[in-house]
Amino acid sequence: MAVPSPPFSLSKHSPSNPPSFLASNPSLDPSKAPVLRPRNAFGSEANLGGVEQTRLRLWNNLKTNSDLRLQASRELPGLTKELKSDKSERMERVEHGTDLFGEMKQRFLSFKKHKYMQNLELYEKLAKDQAPKFMVIACADSRVCPSSILGFQPGEAFVVRNVANMVPPYENGPSETNAGLEFAVNSLKVENILVIGHSRCGGIRALMSMHDDVETSSLIGSWVSVGMNARVRTKAATKLLNFDQQCKHCEKESVNCSLVNLLTYPWVEEKVRNGELRYSRRLLRLRRLCI
């Protein structure tokens, strides 16, 4: 098959008088293009025809579009300048806190320099094994980090965090919380279990907002229903109080129910009875920061 002829004549753009841009870029002049073997380079003459049509359209566009000529003629220094500018902008975002992952990296490097390198002996020991004395069950709320509030150092506490700091009863079956409980008590041999509740807990508000005798398809609702006994007790004791006051009461009652649920685990109950394990509760008030 013959290559289709271009839809216009190239005679008025002879090589002796090409457009100014093409004069400095002869490789774009189709009249100076190298001869290609269709079947070797493109597989068929039809494909070659399509490529030639594209080259001719590009050549014609370069003559009439000044913006396209400007973009096509940009040199490497311009691109390098753009990359440097982008790097500067990224560094500026880190400085202003908008590059959050970059900020996390800087925090890690600071920790490594000021904590890790200053306590190499401790961290080398922890790399081999851990023997925490405490298991802490706390809420996943971003405002109540146990290590920050109680000053736990690496290796001192095995921490499990979930929505509303709940401990499901043994008969409820497997969950990440009771898996952590089993590991802490039976493998790590912790000596103390501390359940920490807190004020203004969103999980407790979700529990208190649930409708009676209505099953929920919400994952949050399914989880906080672990505290249904706390909700029932709260409703019975606070009928005349407003919703916020009821939630405040339930925050305490939920922690109490979690302690009761702890003793439904046979190996927890046995160790408590033998004096090998102690358990306690705390409630953190966020506004006044008191326990």
* Pairwise CA distance, residues 3 & 38, whole Å: 10
CA neighbor of 139 nearest in space, from 259, 263, 225, 255: 255
The answer to whether residues 207 and 230 touch, using CB atoms and an 8 Å cutoff, is: yes
* 247 assigned ligand-binding residue: no
* 201 assigned ligand-binding residue: yes
* 129 assigned ligand-binding residue: no
| 196 strand-pairing partners | 138, 282
Taking CA atoms, 71 is separated from 40, 53, 81, 205, in Å, by 32, 22, 15, 59
* 139 assigned ligand-binding residue: yes
For the annotated binding site for Zn(2+), the residues are 139, 141, 198, 201
For the annotated binding site, the residues are 139, 141, 198, 201
